[in-house]
Amino acid sequence: MKGNSNIIKCYAVLILYLIGPEISMGQNSKNQAEKILNKAYEKIKNVPTLYMRFTYQRKNKKGELLNSESGKVYAAGNRYRLSLMEIIQIGDGKKIYTISSKDKEVTISSAEGIENILSPVQMLSNYIQMFNIEKSIQYKKGSRKILLFLKLTPKKESPVKELLIGLDPENNDLKEIHELENDNYTTSILINEYLPGIIVSKTFLKFEEEDYPDYVITDID
């Protein structure tokens, strides 16, 4: 399940170069970029529940597509339920439960660390805390709607060289997150649908061991 688990952890990251040719429409200061990211964070933090449907992609340093999958996530605060390929991941704010139906295995890990926190609220919170916000740049691709990308760089040593967050400048909705790794591999999340305030059952965001009687359950912390 290790390979799938690594793919799940990549949920939090993308890279701008996956977009292809673009036209720069303007650039804002570092202070302006910080304000924009804080607004996006406050907006998503104040939504009681949300649903996102996204596309995950990964490319090698030559730009060749290695993987492309559809996924979805339901979230309420720092609790979430993520589905990607044959993996379901449930986070309750303290523990993360990664469930592989193919392997009939559940792995339990701590929710500490940016690579483990996949709640949209915690993602943005960690970006603010762990990255320096450099600037914001508007891009347009053909007739596509203009997106505002915030460029971030890590505050300390990290496998991530550069992170960009794509927002809709009209409403500060999260649209894309982009990561360039030190080895020049890229991972990608493109948000295809975003529904705030939907009804999400508390039990849906909770792991119950009795629901997996035939699974091997391993706590790695």
CATH of the domain at 74: 2.50.20.10
Tally of structural domains, the chain: 1
Task: Judge contact between 161 and 182, C-beta under 8 A.
Answer: yes
Give the pLDDT score at 144: 61
pLDDT in tens, the chain (221 residues): 544 444 444 443 332 333 333 434 445 567 777 788 888 888 888 888 999 999 988 888 888 999 999 999 998 877 899 998 889 999 888 899 999 999 999 999 987 754 444 567 777 777 888 888 887 777 665 556 778 888 889 998 888 888 878 888 788 888 888 788 888 888 878 899 989 889 988 889 999 999 999 999 999 87
- Please give the pLDDT value at position 104: 95
Taking the C-alpha atoms of residue 176 and residue 11, their distance in angstroms, rounded to an integer, is 11
Q: How many CA atoms lie within 13 A of 74 on its CB side?
A: 13
Neighbours of 111 (CB within 10 A): 17
Domain span at residue 153 reads 2-219
- pLDDT of 29 reads 66
Q: Indicate yes or no: pTM above 0.85.
A: no
Where are any strands of DSSP class E within the chain? 23-28, 50-59, 65-76, 79-84, 87-91, 95-100, 105-110, 131-140, 147-154, 160-167, 174-181, 186-196, 216-219
